Amino acid sequence: MARFFLEPVNATHRQYEALRAYFVDKLSSAEVARRFGYSPGSFRVLTHQFRQNPKRAFFLPPQKGPQASPKTDPVRDQVVALRKQNCSIYDISRILEERGQKVSAVTVSLLLKEEGFARLPRRKDEERLPGPRPAVAAVADAARRFRTQFGGLYLFVPYLAEIPFEKLLKEAHFPGTPMIPAAQAMRSLLGLKLFGSARHSHVMSSVLDEGLALFAGINVIPKRSFLTEYSCRVDPALV
């Protein structure tokens, strides 16, 4: 067991043992550097830094929150029963809170893991419990007027019209879906770039802007999850 202390395998442990050998065991700087694999200069730097900050942390603090849930937990049976009703961890947490038992989703997840439950597959909206839902955009209508903060994008439309945009994407085999073809997906990303949003994660504040959607050629701009996945699906060889 002594080798655990004399032959540390990570940098923080090695620094601790080296400094202890120098300041407590009174070994010379050269001997400590040789024993723990430092150059004489780097060990002098280490001792200088330690003198400047002798209270630096060498050990990880104890983890907070539940690390294990006892089998006698009074809510365990309720959590298991709700999971058998196909409730997600967030559904279970909300239901228990409505019953006067505040249990976090993290604790619910820990309980279910201990009981051997796997994660639920992604569900459709109609399969979820009643609750708050994302705002749904209106169905596309005929010609009408609306306000948009993306009006400047339409200055680029004449330039796009001169390019066989959809043909180029098709020839390059860009991915697409029946609901959001490649051209609409790429115009969505292009619109965000032209407007000045550096990342497509910024789209969520503008998903219901009709002007941005019209520029892309669809009713509603795709959500952040779709744009992120689409960016990952575009192989660099296609560009």
For residue range 152-205, list pLDDT tens digits in order.
Answer: 888 888 888 888 888 888 888 888 888 888 888 888 888 888 877 555 556 676
Residue 113 within a domain: yes
| CATH code, 8 | 1.10.10
Same domain, 160 and 228: yes
- Report the range of poorest mean pLDDT among 18-22, 60-64, 222-226: 60-64
Give the separation between CA 79 and CA 150, rounded to whole angstroms.
47
Q: What percent of the chain has pLDDT over 90?
A: 5
Using an 8 Å Cβ cutoff, are 8 and 14 in contact?
Answer: yes
Mind listing the pLDDT tens digit for each residue in 9-53? 678 888 888 899 999 999 999 999 888 888 888 888 889 989 988
145 occurs within a structural domain: no
Residues 177 and 226 in one domain: yes
Residue 131, in any domain of the structure: no
Distance of CA 103 to the CA centre of its chain: 23
47, 82: one domain: no
Residue 208 lies in a domain: yes
The verdict on 164 and 217 lying in the same domain is yes
pTM higher than 0.85 for the full model?
A: no
Q: Does 43 reside within a domain?
A: yes
Q: What is the pLDDT of residue 72?
A: 47
Task: Give residue 28's pLDDT.
Answer: 92
When the pLDDT of each residue in the chain is averaged and rounded to a whole number, the result is 78
Question: Is the domain of 42 the same as that of 81?
Answer: no
What is the tally of structural domains in the chain? 3
Model pLDDT, residue 75: 78
Domain that holds residue 47: 2-52
Inside any domain, residue 97: yes
pLDDT in tens, 95-113: 888 888 888 888 888 888 8
Nearest-angstrom CA–CA distance, 157 and 150: 12
Residue 74 confidence (pLDDT) above 50: yes
pLDDT of residue 27: 92
Domain for residue 96, yes or no?
yes
SS (H, E, C) 155-213: HCHHHHHCCCHHHHHHHCCCCCCCCCCHHHHHHHHHHHHHHCCCCHHHHHHHCCCHHHH
Domain-embedded: residue 36: yes
> Same domain, yes or no, for 229 and 162?
yes
**117 and 178 belong to one structural domain:** no
* Cα gap 19→29, rounded to integer Å: 10
Is the pLDDT at 132 greater than 70? The verdict is no
